[in-house]
Structure 1
């Protein structure tokens, strides 16, 4: 058999998938030596691939014969076209028969594809087991990053699902008021009592509007005592609010007992949650039952309905809704536009243009109600206020995450943290993908011969790409499986960290499809570059040993390492700044002594014996001082709002928003506050009942250079300023210090006790014994002021802990990749290291040599990361009125940490390579 016939036979075997590997290699070599036959085969392949019919093939051959006849006059030697025609005719018949046979058996194609995929998987598993350390790092890094991303995704899903369950949530809004004055921008939710009625009557776009007073007048640590009418003892409860019937109507709060349409339409009625119904009336229908609030038997509250508990994904968390029907907290309050105490929830009609309605609300409410009220009272600032005031509508679904700049007295999430956590999750995933890309391209030299041989035996580039992508997706699927397990194991700890009760959504229909799609997408993203890179090797260069993988791929690897450490350094700097800011806030002198102060609640139970109880406490050797007050400078206690003016200037000057707190004469001493001018209250002086002590902020805002002896007023009689107390922080450090007015009073509320000794256990035992002598059947309830103060920053601290945890995880994933890359680079430079050792290089010199390349990349990352981190954290710190300054030492420390981490990561492999026997590396080379 001649060479040409042998080539034809091998070709037919190849096209019918009958050729062995050896025969395919032989065919490739013969075709390289016989280019004319190769041209004939290309023609045949084109016809076969295009499903050309036999007649079309003959027509093409006839065209070639015509070319032959036209060229007979030339002296050029032409191919024997007759022979070509006969050969192609004969072989084409065989090929056509093979094509027809294959087309008649589509299952053979399917079987071949399955066999191919099995082969790809077998190779992928073989590679995984062959390189155990690198595979473990790839899968481990991916699994850690996937677990982190899943936890963050669960957190974000929970935070973004708030208040989406209401039947008409797309039409539900909360009214927001905004006041802009220069650089000051204040937003709040409190409005006058008649606002809801005005919204319904004056604006046709408003279908309904309801009111809620979450900060009710009895709200605070010293009140909220509740009991059944037939019970002897009180129980302290939180979660009280006043509401009206439209509030229930527009939210469609489901009722388990009672009439939802009339639950709050009558005076002295209330709606309680299922939890509280089970607590006070187990196994009963409590509708119609009576309860007393704060021992006030003159106002018995009748339970009109039992509502379903508010879900965890609600910004509302009330257990007791008291009716506003028949309520006036002062004479004429329900028609008065000069005081703001109510939140307004609005149900809009379908198709309402929000932007246009906001403009109408701002113009209409101010023009019709607010400005006339200000003019009526003689306030000359009416026109100024109207130009700086605006009304907005906040979708109910935005309340949880987009209320960080709104004063509503509630604890919310923060959309900025959602974006931040999402970015961190993305960074972690990208870092894991970079590890995969770096290790895959770094190990490319080890697989170059495999690629070359596969190409020689007929593998197409598309097939090689498919093979490498299959390997990538295998790693991805294994990582996702392990990541799911890790996420489930870590979820309870994450719940503690985030103060959540998240669960894995195993029952959700979308979980499996989402995981599968994500695994495929991540596998493709991580493997696409290595697949194209590896499949681009030229077999001739590979088999001759001329392949170089050091230039372009090393540039990419170095760039990716720089990106990894840039991200890590940004996270390190951010973590340091967040930690220092929290430390600064918690340790900053706030103008009062919060340590060793016990706050005793529920003193309403003592009725008129509160003063006697306080005096008995003062006799205890462990008690330094004690006071009675209605307010405390920590969260969870009552607040109010008043406008104060200089006497006789109410119509001429803008008022100063201030707090107005009732305290006794021992309050300033107990709280460790400092009087900077004047004197303290004296209970024996009758004139002190109309005297006040103000803080420095109010004195400055009222331009009182010598405030002692001056008089200030709000809406009542003028009050004499007898003292000025040093400013103290009673709100979050995010906010500036408000004006403060202290007024003398002994009304029963909160008893604060300053303990002398550090033996808090003994002091609490003495205080408890004293309490029992006054209220033997009522348990004492107390809090520590320093803990309550810290709770004001619990949300920010919690976010900081979450951020720090995931930042550390991102750094660990980056270090895993760097560790594996260092191991590979040490392996690649084995011959060089061996020669250097033979020539006398020390272990230290070789370690320095191998580590220098990585440290150089870390320095580049520090230069890139520092300005980015400075900009981002400067923006974050702007939310705090009191904040740290970002000094150079933070960046220096972060850089040192990054260098130490990098050195620690690569030094193990560097030292291992440096102390290895050079004979082994030289022999292997």
Structure 2
């Protein structure tokens, strides 16, 4: 019987080509969008969940009380990982690691090969904790020696041109002024795409501890990460209590509030407010799940509307089937078969669209998604298709199968009024969603433009940065003095790390007998860093090469002076790390974090370990000056490639996720509008066809073309107008809440709402006019003759 249902459904679809084409276009476009979003969401949920110890793998976090509330940090003492297994039998493995963002481009050499790769220094059990399969070496031994280095297949090929027999070979590496050598103890497979941290080498943390002279004491704070694997059936809340009690027993002051966070959850749930997990990337995941549901719902509404609108053409069929004994469920099943057949035809077209769109989609999202015959994605796509068919066909099936036999055989449609109001309601719902999408995307783009053009409080334009490596660290001041003489170079200096992105840390301070721990962003800098970036002084002076005693001086920003509660700060003495330092200046506040955050306290201190060079170039001469810098660099630092980044590019990188979401949302909003317009086109075409005789009579009686157009389009334009009136306040409310996530954001502007409303009205009018004008211009004689 099902076979006959599908044969009848196929014949029906072939017979009514216009209806089928409109539905296929809407459903296939909606399915393609939904399936692309599904693949992206599926990949997001898979991030970091491939480890064998996934459910027992945790990272140690800490809640730090400050004057502004509780700040949650991933930073832990260097020796915590070594201590925990000895104290707590619940810990199977533990390992310390340098933060992955510390060393994104370390210069590695082997023979004549030089490669810059990202890596970390980690404890000996790192490969017992994380499932990065080794193709050479044993996970228990590869980091046992402090001179060991474990490299990826890709790095092995780059340095040695092979992955075979590379263990035991020597690799040179350089960090700032330190040049060392390590021996390859293992090779691991390249990290999968669903690993949130991408590394090419792991070196023993013992080498880093020796290099930086790190204390063996567990109590001092440290900017390191601690990972651990718990034993089976261990209660995490109970372990957290034991950990806090242990840290309290060691603390001389306030106890450190440490707790465990499942490692795989950090990717999606990495945001904390006042010590409470509040979200992170999961917000974007939920947003796109909602967008996918709305898009497939909009596409399904087209199917519902066209099916119920065309019910009059199927009245006799329904009546005859009921008269010969067909039950309501039998008829409903037949109409659902038609819906499922259309959905699977749309799936085929959607898969072809996905294949075509996948490269562009991957470019926008920064992922490497593909259509693979894996069980979970295939079942997910099948489920979405079946759900689409069910959503699209359920109401028409229920409506058509519920028609009374006597009424339909007499040509009467008893529920015509209710069906008409249902169709109008669905059209209003469609366009309300579409208008809301458009307004939301426009506001997001405006906010991104606001961020891009808002001054961060320093001059990021015409400034390039590059690493101090090779022979540079040994004579950094001489190198800076030399490049300042290059024509077109305005100023040059150096800094430890980067201007943007590094987290604030809790630092204990003493001033005038008062002690406090305040969250500060430390800037370890060279002379002339402040003028190189164009940071304005509010009081005092910046560091200068003319003042060699500035190594004992310190500069704060305005937010720091306010947090410390110091009046007339210049010349005052403050104690930090057991050293008395004189405040020689106060900078005006500037944004060293994203605009999501308010400006935090920071300080500047002279330090010899500044591994990033910043060079200010003359505006309009950038290509020529960079060419001179590159020529000088190759002469000064033979064997090292001149690799630089513009500072404004690094600044914009903070908002790459927002820009990607805005771009994707824009495409999806546009498609939602197109799908809605397709449904409006189909309904208008059906209305024009159904009222063809009426139009013919009116034209014979003297009605003008414009009167006929108004007659056929007025109801639809009223529905579109009502949807716009509903959507605009809804969009205003939603986007006002979204903007509140930014500490600094643009004001809501009325032109966004006015222009969106006008544009949607114009598009709807244009879509309706395509059919109404055709009907109005038709020869009335032919219309009446066909009756």
TM range (shorter): over 0.9
Does 2:233 align with 1:351? yes
Query: What is the alpha-carbon distance in structure 1 between the residues aligned to residue 377 and residue 91 of structure 2?
Result: 40
Cα pair 1:211 1:344 within 8 Å, conserved? yes
TM-aligned CA distance change 1:209 to 1:875, over 3 Å: farther
Q: CA shift at 1:584, angstroms?
A: 1.3
Deviation at residue 642 of structure 1 after TM alignment = 5.8
The 5 Å alignment of 1:863-882 reads 863-882=725-744
Name the structure 1 match of 2:55: 170
Equivalent residues in 2 for 1:618-629, closer than 5 Å: 618-629=484-495
Aligned twin of 1:377: none
Partner of 2:190: 309
Contact persistence 1:694–1:723 (CA under 8 A): yes
- Contact conserved, 1:210 with 1:245, CA < 8 A, in 2? yes
1:464 CA displacement: 2.7
1:799–1:518 distance in 2 versus 1, CA, 3 Å = closer
**Alpha-carbon deviation of 1:279?**
1.5
Change (3 A) 1:243 1:447: same
Deviates more, 1:579-588 or 1:872-881: 872-881
Q: Please state whether the residue corresponding to 1:317 is helix, strand or coil.
A: coil
Q: Are the structure 2 counterparts of residues 171 and 336 from structure 1 closer, same or farther at C-alpha, using a change threshold of 3 Å?
A: closer
Distance 1:305 1:407 in 2: 42
Larger radius of gyration: 1
Compute the displacement of 1:533 (Å): 1.6
Residue 220 of structure 2 is matched in structure 1 by: 338
Whole-Å separation in 2 of the counterparts to 1:711 and 1:911 = 83
Per the alignment, residue 292 of structure 1 pairs with 172
> Residues 413 and 305 (structure 1 numbering): CA distance in 2 closer, same or farther, change over 3 Å?
farther
Please report how far the alpha carbon of residue 356 of structure 1 lies from its aligned counterpart in structure 2 after TM superposition: 2.8
What is the rounded CA distance, in whole Å, between the counterparts of 1:642 and 1:418 in structure 2? 32
2:368 counterpart residue number: 501
1:509 Cα shift? 4.4
User: Could you say which residue in structure 1 is the equivalent of 2:264?
Assistant: 397
Unmatched 5+ stretches in structure 1: 1-112, 375-381
Q: What is aligned with 1:611?
A: 477
Are the aligned partners of 1:226 and 1:291 in contact in 2 as well (CA < 8 Å)? yes
Native 8 Å contact 1:603 1:748 kept in 2:
no
1:448-505 CA deviation, whole Å, 9 max, x = no partner? 1222233344544444333222222221221112112212221111111111111102
SS of structure 2 residue aligned to 1:645: strand
> Following TM superposition, by how much is the alpha carbon of 1:199 offset from its aligned partner in structure 2, in angstroms?
2.9
Equivalent residue for 1:643, pick from 496, 507, 524: 507
Return closer, same or farther for 1:719/1:538 CA change in 2, 3 Å cut-off. same
SS for the counterpart of 2:644 is: strand
Aligned partners of 1:458, 1:240: CA distance in 2, in Å? Answer: 74
SS at match of 2:352: helix
Deviation string, structure 1 residues 424-456 (Cα, Å, up to 9, x no partner): 111111111111110000011111122223334
Q: CA deviation at 1:919?
A: 3.1
TM-score, normalising length: structure 2: 0.93
Which one is further off, 583-592 or 661-670? 661-670
CA shift, 1:215, in A, is 5.1
Query: Any unmatched runs of 5+ in structure 2?
Result: none
Quick check: 1:267 aligned with 2:146? Answer: yes
In structure 1, the residue matched to 2:571 is: 709
> Secondary structure, in 3 states, of the residue corresponding to 2:472?
helix
Distance 1:614 1:690 in 2: 22
Q: Is this contact kept in 2: 1:196–1:209, CA < 8 A?
A: yes
Deviation of 1:417 after TM superposition, in Å, equals 1.0
Q: 1:876 to 1:465 in 2, by over 3 A?
A: same
Contact 1:188 1:406 in 2 (8 A): no
Query: Which stretch shifts more, 454-463 or 150-159?
Result: 454-463
Name the counterpart of 1:147.
Answer: 32
Match of 1:806 in 2: 668
Q: In the TM superposition, what whole-angstrom CA distance separates every residue of 1:563-585 from its partner, at most 9, and x where no partner exists?
A: 11121122122212211121111
User: Is the alpha carbon distance of 1:714 and 1:920 closer, same or farther for their aligned partners in structure 2, counting shifts above 3 Å?
Assistant: farther
2:589 counterpart SS class: coil
- 1:472 matched to 2:334? The reply is no
Task: Show the counterpart of 2:133.
Answer: 254
CA drift at 1:705: 3.0
**Aligned equivalents of 2:348 and 2:510: distance in 1?**
70
Matched residue, 1:41 = none
Displacement of 1:164: 2.0
Q: 1:236 to 1:605 in 2, by over 3 A?
A: farther
Q: 2 CA distance for matches of 1:422 and 1:130?
A: 36
What's 2:301 paired with?
A: 434
Aligned residue runs from structure 1 range 533-682, under 5 A:
533-548=399-414, 550-635=416-501, 641=505, 643=507, 645-649=509-513, 652-682=514-544
Question: Does the alignment pair 1:890 with 2:756?
Answer: no
> Are residues 360 and 885 of structure 1, via their aligned partners in 2, closer, same or farther at CA, if it must alter by over 3 Å?
farther
Instruction: Give 1:391 deviation, angstroms.
Output: 3.1
TM-superposed CA distance for 1:590, in Å, is 0.3
Match of residue 14 from structure 1: none
Distance 1:549 1:325 in 2: 80
Structure 1 pair 247–878 and aligned structure 2 pair: CA distance change class (3 A): farther
- The 1:736–1:198 alpha-carbon spacing in structure 2 relative to 1, beyond 3 Å, is farther
Taking structure 1 as reference, are residues 642 and 235 closer, same or farther at Cα in structure 2, changes over 3 Å only?
Answer: farther
**How far off is 1:850 after superposition?**
2.9
The answer to whether residue 88 in structure 2 is matched with residue 203 in structure 1 is yes
Deviates more, 1:348-357 or 1:830-839: 830-839
Tell me what 1:322 maps to: 203
Aligned in 2, Cα 1:501/1:595: closer, same or farther, shift over 3 Å? same
Contact 1:642/1:660 (<8 A) preserved? no
Partner Cα distance (1:276, 1:357) in 2: 39
CA gap 1:261/1:768 in 2 versus in 1, 3 angstroms: same
2:120 corresponds, among 241, 245, 261, to 241
Once residues 435 and 547 of structure 2 are traced to their aligned partners in structure 1, the CA distance between those partners, rounded to angstroms, is 63
Counterpart CA distance in 1 for 2:506 and 2:286 is 37
Match of 2:689 in 1: 827
- Partners in 2 of 1:772 and 1:193 — Cα distance? 38
1:126 matches 2:11:
yes
1:616, 1:770 within 8 Å by CA — same for their partners in 2?
no
Q: In the aligned structure 1, how far is the partner of 2:344 from the partner of 2:97?
A: 51
**Distance in 2 separating the partners of 1:826 and 1:648:** 85
Q: Give 1:77's aligned residue.
A: none
- How far is 1:639 from its partner? 6.5
Deviation digits for residues 38-95 of structure 1 (CA, Å, limit 9, x no counterpart): xxxxxxxxxxxxxxxxxxxxxxxxxxxxxxxxxxxxxxxxxxxxxxxxxxxxxxxxxx
Larger mean CA deviation between 135-144 and 325-334 belongs to 325-334
Structure 1 residues 407 and 143, CA, compared in 2 at 3 Å: closer, same or farther? farther
Residue 346 of structure 1 aligns to a residue whose secondary structure is strand
- How many residue pairs end up in the alignment? 781
Q: What is aligned with 2:73?
A: 188
Q: What do residues 191-210 of structure 1 show as CA deviations (whole Å, max 9, x unaligned)?
A: 11232244323333323322
> Which one of the candidate residues 534, 550, 555 is aligned to 1:688?
550
Deviation digits for residues 680-720 of structure 1, max 9, x if unmatched? 22322233232222211111111223221112222132211
Conservation of the 8 A alpha-carbon contact between 2:66 and 2:519: no
Distance 1:395 1:639 in 2: 21
Q: Is the 8 A contact 1:628 1:748 kept in 2?
A: yes
Secondary structure at 2:471 match in 1? helix
Change (3 A) 1:626 1:220: farther
Instruction: Give the one of 343, 353, 357 matched to 1:486.
Output: 353
1:785 maps onto 2:666 in alignment: no
Cα 1:514–1:662, aligned 2, differ >3 Å: closer, same or farther? closer
Q: How does 1:218-229 map to 2 (within 5 A)?
A: 219=103, 224-228=106-110
Q: Which residue of 1 aligns with 2:161?
A: 282
Which 10-residue stretch deviates more, 843-852 or 252-261?
843-852
How big is the shift at 1:400? 1.7
Question: TM-score with structure 1 length normalisation?
Answer: 0.79
Partner of 2:44: 159
